Amino acid sequence: MEEKYNPYTIENKWQRSWEKDRLFKVDIQKDKEKYYLLEMFPYPSGNIHMGHVRNYTIGDVVARYKRMRGFNVLHPMGWDAFGMPAENAAIANKSHPATWTYQNIDNMRAQLKKIGFSYDWDRELATCQPEYYRWEQWLFLKMVEKGLAYRKESYVNWCDPCQTVLANEQVEAGMCWRCGKEVRQKKLWQWFFRITDYAEDLLMHCDKLPGWPEKVITMQKNWIGKSVGAEIRFPIIGGEGGDISVFTTRQDTVFGATFMCLAPEHPLVGTLSEGKEQAAAVNAFVERMSRQDRTAKAVETFEKEGVFTGAYCLNPMSGMEMPIYTANFALMEYGTGAVMSVPAHDQRDFDFATKYGLDIVVVVNHEGGDLIAEGLTEAYTGDGIMINSGSFDGMPNREAMEAIARHLEDKGLGKKTVSYRLRDWGISRQRYWGAPIPMIHCPSCGVIPVPEAELPILLPEDANLLEGGRSPLPELAAFAQTTCPKCGGDRARRETDTMDTFVESSWYFERYCSPDYDGGMFDKEAVDYWMPVDQYIGGVEHAILHLLYSRFYTRVLNDMDLVKYKEPFTCLLTQGMVCKETTSCPEHGFLLPNEIAEQDGVPHCTICGKAAVVGRVEKMSKSKKNVIDPNILLERYGADTTRLFCLFAAPPERDLEWSEQGVDGGYRFLNRVWRFAAACMDDIKDVSPYTDAPDSLEGELKKLYKKTHETIQRVTRDIEDRFHFNTAISAVMELVNALYAFDAPADAPERHRVVRFAVESAILLLSPIVPHFTEEIWEALGNSGSILLAPWPTHREDALAKDELLIVVQVNGKVRSRFNAAVDADDELLRKRALSDERVLKFIADKSVKKVIVVKKKLVNIVV
RNA sequence: GCGAGAGUGGCGGAAUUGGUAGACGCACUGGACUUAGGAUCCAGCUCUGGCGACAGAGUGGGAGUUCAAGUCUCCCCUCUCGCACCA
């Protein structure tokens, strides 16, 4: 064993050794229990960043730990390879997205290998490969068959100059992020997945995911957003039997509905105002609303406004004539797009009614109170007793909810129903770099699926990307022009939209089970063995979309009998962000690390020399210029220190704050272990570790032996139960400290064997965390075979047994003294010792003892 | 506004079922070894008072339950995240 720890040579050595022996390759082994560990695969953006390093280190530790516990561990890695950055980079570099993507993949793969992650690289996949998206297209056709994929016209953010659809994130204050021109809402035909069919099932199973963080569960529940209420129809006056259907959760207040509000996009808005004097104003309002940025609008500053359509409807319960408005606070996407407005009991309706001088009718009176419409300054939204509600007067409103719903159903005026916030998943992207949607538009036959045998529909490689990100596919005749599979007509066109990249990431975990399978999406036997994923790890930013889509997709596969389970991920860990303080110069804004220089302990801007300001600790991001490149860490300290730091600085679910000193500390610890091992290696390399009962050991030896077993127990519990690697590491640090403090006579019997056991245990416990480092020492100890094939150590109960226990003595709950007592000391003995303790006597001298509480093996509390 | 999580030394963070608050690490201080050390080893390190033994206070604030509260209950404050005119 070298005297000095040299991370570079040993990391190189072991990475090559693992690869040569193909140690991470796994196959189905029916006789072994499987464990599928998955980290969210990266988008191949070009470089691995600290967030990746943290995510994958956490996963790697668990994978290596589970392997040592005897599981057959599947731990794959791949690339979420379709997406916009590739297109943008290709436009900027005048190259092709595929070139850019594959270069990035090569680069990032090499980086990941340098960190020593234990992936089965034989299973690597990239979602932009035709062998992958072919099966996605196949499932799309199946979903069309089942009616789960469909086409409808819907509103999108559209930029005219750029001729493209923008994602919500690309609309900044109503303007296009690229050209700065106004974005408008445009109606386009788009493909959707009917995720709303599964809303109830997705919601119900939220409570059957005990291995998921509470936070993610509630986020999913809120996103699905179930409301129980009623649908009520309001006949349009003079509308020849037509009516307006509304959704409400407060059907008890229906007698108080005094006007109606329709979303500006509601189809009735145009027809109701048509030919009336209000028509022009209504059209102008609708037009103005369509230009409003619907995502970035600040609610607080958003004023409720609307215009009267000139039409009226009838309140079916109160018989009142209600004016019909179109208003900006009515949302087409929710419920039916129409709101029965009850100003007395809904704040929005109240604001609107006050503004436009509309009637207010109180129908729920609060307990013992006397609400009158005239005196109201705000809506009363609480519970109470029904008034002004015909035969329902006097009923508690909670009861009236049920009674009115029944009444409406009996009279055929409405029905009880539920509404969800969740909307169908729009998967069309007017983009090039994605999986083509396998459909054909024929002028005579309509929209026709591509025959299965023609899959995959390849994304043409010879496309030239266009300025502004506009998709070249519609203009690429070789791709777009085709013959109709039904009538054979040659005037058919391919669908030129591609699929949302979230579709690819909704089933990649199944593909990993049999990545080369060409008879379907996956080999059923492989999926039956490996799936579901036992532990999934990734950033909380995917708490809703990716995870919800994957749960939906899995249900679709389940309904088609392709898989046997409904939930793809049994346990989920969402790791926190990697953060660092920002530093900025009053003149030059955020500063890069190399633009900061210390002068008299104060950071200065090296561009202008002014004092720089150290700002908040924030997520590492290029725009904040507080990014640390993992490559620098790998060069300066090596992979093991980098891994150790990521795990030691914070528990995984919490944010991790970058600290130079923290990395140093980790490096120092490894060196400390190394030096100890190197110093005692000659003594211990040829002896077998002491693993017998502790009886024949004494004094220091027994103490160290016990400490070793305690450490094994603590580390195992910390990793197994809760992934608290930080405390696992600190437990090993304590053991190492104990080794340094160890002071048994040089000739004590069994000395070397006990030390060997301690050192070897520490190495084994650390091996999932710092695998190269521990391999090297493991080898030096004379062990044959890789440490990662060694079994995880287990503790002996008899070694943990204590001879004496420290008993705490409290007086009135305050600790006043401590003493050692035999393990089996009974209450009476403890009581006597406590009461005769000299320090305790000081506190009870002039008082009378009221009560003495004795807690076995722990403490005595004396109440005076 | 609704929902979730968090608040512990100078800092990152520890504290099974309520039972020694501050493990471990960083920073800092002192000592040892050294030509030297920013290496290493040993020791100290919540605050206040005291040379000290020790005493008092202390887990965002305030009440409560209890022999005993960082931990349980209620109210309040602050921060972070998510959703947000959801009818």
Q: What is the pLDDT of residues A281-310, one digit of tens each?
A: 999 999 888 776 544 444 445 678 999 999
pLDDT at A465: 79
Nucleotide nearest to A251 (CA to C1'): B87
Decide: residue A672, CB within 10 A, 0-12 exposed, 13-18 middle, 19+ buried: middle
pLDDT band at residue A607, thresholds of 50, 70 and 90? confident
pLDDT band at residue A801, thresholds of 50, 70 and 90? confident
CA of A704 to C1' of B33 (A): 27
Nucleotide nearest to A648 (CA to C1'): B25
pLDDT band at residue A161, thresholds of 50, 70 and 90? confident
Mean pLDDT for the stretch of residues A218-236: 92
pLDDT at A123 over 50: yes
Distant-in-sequence, close-in-space partners of A35: CB < 8 Å, separation ≥ 6: A63, A66, A71, A72, A73, A74, A534, A535
Mean pLDDT for the stretch of residues A194-207: 92
CA of A720 to C1' of B82 (A): 29
Listed as own residue / partner, the contacts of A742-751 with beta carbons closer than 8 Å and 24 or more positions apart are: A742/A700, A742/A704, A743/A700, A744/A699, A744/A700, A744/A701, A744/A704, A748/A699, A748/A700, A748/A701, A749/A696, A750/A690, A750/A696, A750/A697, A750/A701, A751/A701
Chain B: positions less than 7 Å from a protein CB are: 3-5, 12-16, 19-21, 23-27, 39-43, 55-56, 67-69, 81-87
CA of A752 to C1' of B39 (A): 28
pLDDT at A210: 86
Q: Which two tokens stand for residue A122?
A: 């034989």
pLDDT band at residue A171, thresholds of 50, 70 and 90? low
Global model pTM greater than 0.90: yes
pLDDT at A298: 43
Nucleotide nearest to A656 (CA to C1'): B12
Q: Which amino acid is at A175?
A: M
Q: Which two tokens stand for residue A141?
A: 């056709």
The larger pLDDT score, comparing residue A696 to residue A118, is at: A118
- Give the tens place of pLDDT for each residue, A83-120: 888 888 888 888 899 999 999 999 999 999 999 999 99
Is A441 in a helix, a strand, or coil? strand
Q: What is the mean pLDDT of chain A?
A: 90
- What is the DSSP secondary-structure string of A50-61? HHHHHHHHHHHH
pLDDT at A295: 45
CA of A318 to C1' of B16 (A): 62
pLDDT at A626: 86
pLDDT band at residue A847, thresholds of 50, 70 and 90? confident
* DSSP run (H or E) holding A556: helix A545-559
Q: What values do phi and psi take at A15, rounded to 5?
A: -60, -40
- Give the tens place of pLDDT for each residue, A454-488: 999 999 988 887 776 778 999 999 999 999 999 99
Mean pLDDT for the stretch of residues A3-20: 95
What's the CA gap between A102 and A108, in Å, rounded?
10
% of chain A with per-residue pLDDT over 70? 96
- Give the tens place of pLDDT for each residue, A754-794: 999 999 999 999 999 999 999 999 999 999 999 999 999 99
This model of the complex carries an ipTM of: 0.94
What's the CA gap between A776 and A146, in Å, rounded?
57
Nucleotide nearest to A730 (CA to C1'): B24
Mean pLDDT for the stretch of residues A448-453: 96
Mean pLDDT for the stretch of residues A134-148: 97
CA of A645 to C1' of B11 (A): 16
Closest C-alpha among A279, A245, A577, A294 to residue A412: A245
